[in-house]
């Protein structure tokens, strides 16, 4: 599985966000990760978003303003906004929270043209009432963080995915520990214990630090189709703050 494809599938499960996994309907092929080695979320996250198609979770996202969700480009590439809905602020991706319809998607223009750029915006058809999360100003090596998602909890491709939100505490490590990464625009995120991290279905979901958004689940950091055998790569939200502001109006 190519690194870019793997990235599209890690979407929800615990602390690793990486690619798409069988058993979860995806808006585009290979987009559905779960967190491996995580635990059930110990609190509710008002900004946590389950992007869905035909009522099934396919990717994660973060509500960054009442009208906008930040996710991974590979999650929405090739999919019309009319086919995407969002469940916001619930730890269960099948019920609760508030539901919204997507009205527009904006994919970063560099996606597919360079190593980084796996980031996209989804505009909602009406403002959400849930509290959004702010984008952090920076995310340096050593930053302690938490991964959130509904991706596979089984590291092998095609594993089952939970409906209960997973979380995993981890940290940002030196970019040199990941392969195929742009260290100026992406975060290399450790896999605690060598067996925990993002997986298929976690894609697009948040990496948070001190209550702010630092990363968007993108792909595996070692090219292995089995999740959590190495670090995960997250698109750096701070690195794209200007682009986000330009397209959302702040």
Q: Which residues are catalytically annotated?
A: 74, 118, 203
Give the β-pairing of 166-173 and 48-53: unpaired
Half-sphere exposure of 98 (CA within 13 A, CB side): 17
Beta bridge partners of 102: 124
Q: Nearest-CA neighbor of 136 among 245, 210, 246? A: 210
Which pairing describes strands 198-199 and 16-17: parallel, antiparallel, or unpaired? parallel
Nearest one of 33, 100, 39 to 66, comparing CA atoms: 100
Q: Using CA atoms, how far apart are residues 33 and 42, in angstroms rounded to an integer?
A: 20
Contact call for residues 32 and 203 (beta carbons, < 8 A): yes
């Amino acid at each position: 599985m190519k690194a870019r494809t793997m990235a599209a599938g890690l979407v929800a499960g615990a602390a690793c966000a990486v690619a798409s996994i069988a058993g979860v309907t995806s808006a585009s092929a290979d987009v559905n990760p779960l967190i491996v080695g995580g635990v059930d979320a110990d609190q509710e996250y008002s900004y946590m978003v389950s992007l869905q198609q035909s009522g099934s979770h396919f990717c994660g996202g973060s509500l960054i303003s009442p009208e906008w969700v930040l996710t991974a480009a590979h999650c929405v590439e090739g999919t019309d906004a009319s086919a995407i809905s969002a469940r916001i602020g619930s730890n269960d991706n099948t019920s609760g929270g508030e539901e919204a319809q997507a009205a527009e998607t904006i994919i970063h223009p560099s996606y597919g043209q360079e190593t980084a750029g796996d980031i996209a915006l989804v505009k909602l058809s009406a403002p959400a009432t849930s509290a959004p999360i702010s984008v952090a100003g920076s995310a340096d090596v050593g930053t302690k963080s938490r991964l959130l998602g509904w991706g596979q909890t089984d590291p092998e491709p095609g594993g089952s995915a939970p409906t209960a939100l997973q979380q995993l505490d981890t940290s940002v490590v030196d970019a040199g520990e990941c392969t195929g990464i742009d260290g100026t625009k992406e975060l290399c995120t450790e896999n605690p214990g060598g067996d925990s991290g993002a997986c298929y279905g976690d894609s697009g979901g948040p990496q948070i630090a001190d209550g702010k958004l630092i990363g968007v689940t993108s792909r595996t950091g070692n090219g292995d189709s089995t999740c959590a055998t190495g670090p995960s790569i997250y698109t750096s939200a701070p690195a794209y703050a200007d682009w986000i502001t330009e397209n959302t109006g702040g």
